[in-house]
């Protein structure tokens, strides 16, 4: 899944609009003043993906141009949200999906209006008005890969309770183990998301070469780490938690007793989470990272650009940051500078300002925060 472009509006709800955003194939770094709309756009992308992949409703309008498995698609959508007086008013007003770019229709996959609903040339009976046609028609041969594409969007937030949730203890999901016993396919891991302790247990058991790579990458960032081990909670924590709850332990050099993942620094937790995500997810994944650098040391920030270059493959990455180390490390051409006027979010591609930025990496952040596009980031 790769997003080529997105325009968005929710005129009947809060009133947010996003001018057309054209993304790059690999690295997309969202920069801008606090409140300029970076995280909101990540939320918009993630919510659109959830709407398409699951049975839920979003009231908004968008045109999304994306690519999956070498095929370009455009999805144009218009949904009306309910008002407080009558939730039944929520409905999809119109919807189209075609192969091709926004200005080029190669093959129409479905058209849905108030008076008709066609899948290709076939009439479709009236179906739920609060579900997207991508979800409703997900078993149709032409729509299956599109529905699959929207299940390939992953977002990591590193604030609020999200990190605590990611490293919390969970029992091994036995139905998932049975599926992996039958077929050791990493797609099973993303279709059945688990906490990091369970995920690393499964990777170690079924994809040991990936587990070794995760350990090697983690130890590059933290050279004082000797090993990553998986034990049961009963064994590792000496607590009556049963034998089906795995715990990740970090063995540091010179310390006899390994440390449980929950007890190491948040920087180590974040790095291990990102490394595990990237190494275990399919190369068709769109991966979004929202301000992971908060409270991190330099080594835990510096690792990301070279790690993505080495292990990111063909995945598309979208990141938000305010940190000078990350901003300086990523080429200006991969920046997207956010500016908000009221409820309208505008984005300037780094390619448009690249010529006026110096070649020195160390100067990029200073130039950015003195750029009018940044200093006037929220009006």
What DSSP string runs through 43-64? HHHHHHHHHHHTT-----EEEE
Per-residue pLDDT band at 44 (split at 50, 70, 90): very high
Of 120-129, 336-345, 351-360, minimum mean pLDDT range: 351-360
What DSSP string runs through 161-186? THHHHHHS-----HHHHHHHHH---T
The tens digit of pLDDT for each residue in 277-310 reads 999 998 889 999 988 887 677 778 888 999 999 9
The tens digit of pLDDT for each residue in 172-187 reads 999 999 999 999 988 8
pLDDT (mean) for 101-109: 95
Distance between CA 292 and CA 277 in Å, rounded? Answer: 14
pLDDT of residue 295: 67
Distance between CA 321 and CA 184 in Å, rounded? Answer: 36
Mean pLDDT of the chain: 89
pLDDT of residue 162: 83
Distance between CA 365 and CA 359 in Å, rounded? Answer: 12
- Domain ranges (residues) in the chain: 1-152+285-379, 158-281
Looking up tokens 């979208």 gives 318
User: CATH fold of 1-152+285-379, please?
Assistant: Rossmann fold (3.40.50)
């Amino acid at each position: 899944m790769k997003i080529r472009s997105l325009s968005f509006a929710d005129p009947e709800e809060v009133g947010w609009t996003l001018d057309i955003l054209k993304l790059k194939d690999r690295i997309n770094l969202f920069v801008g003043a606090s409140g300029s709309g970076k995280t909101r756009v990540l939320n918009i992308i993630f919510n659109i993906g959830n709407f398409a992949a699951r049975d839920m409703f979003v009231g908004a309008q968008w045109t999304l141009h994306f690519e999956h498995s070498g095929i370009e698609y455009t999805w144009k959508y218009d949904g009306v949200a309910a008002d407080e007086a009558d939730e039944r008013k929520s409905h999809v007003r119109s919807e189209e999906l075609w192969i091709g770019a926004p200005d080029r229709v190669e093959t129409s996959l479905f058209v849905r209006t108030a008076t008709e609903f066609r899948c290709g040339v076939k009439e479709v009976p009236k179906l739920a008005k609060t579900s997207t046609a991508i979800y409703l028609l997900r078993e149709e041969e032409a729509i299956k890969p599109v529905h699959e594409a929207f299940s390939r969007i992953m977002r990591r937030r590193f604030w609020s309770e999200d990190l605590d949730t990611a490293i919390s203890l969970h029992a091994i999901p036995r139905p998932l183990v049975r599926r992996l016993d039958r077929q050791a396919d990493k797609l099973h891991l993303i279709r059945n998301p688990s906490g990091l302790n369970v995920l690393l247990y499964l990777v170690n058991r079924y994809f040991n070469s990936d587990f070794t790579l995760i350990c090697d990458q983690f130890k590059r960032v933290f050279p004082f780490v000797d090993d990553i081990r998986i034990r049961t909670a009963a064994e590792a924590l000496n607590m009556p938690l049963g034998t089906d709850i795995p715990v990740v332990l970090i063995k540091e050099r010179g310390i006899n007793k390994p440390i449980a993942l929950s007890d190491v620094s948040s920087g180590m937790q974040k790095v291990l989470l990102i490394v595990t995500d990237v190494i275990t997810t399919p190369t068709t994944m769109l991966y979004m990272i929202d301000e992971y650098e908060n409270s991190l040391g330099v080594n835990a920030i510096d690792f990301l650009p070279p790690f993505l270059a080495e292990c990111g493959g063909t995945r598309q990455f979208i990141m938000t940051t305010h940190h000078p180390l990350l901003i300086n490390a990523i080429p200006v051409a991969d920046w997207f500078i956010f500016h908000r006027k009221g409820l309208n979010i505008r984005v300037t591609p780094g390619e448009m300002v690249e010529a006026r930025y110096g070649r020195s990496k160390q100067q990029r952040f200073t130039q950015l925060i003195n750029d009018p596009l940044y200093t006037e980031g929220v009006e």
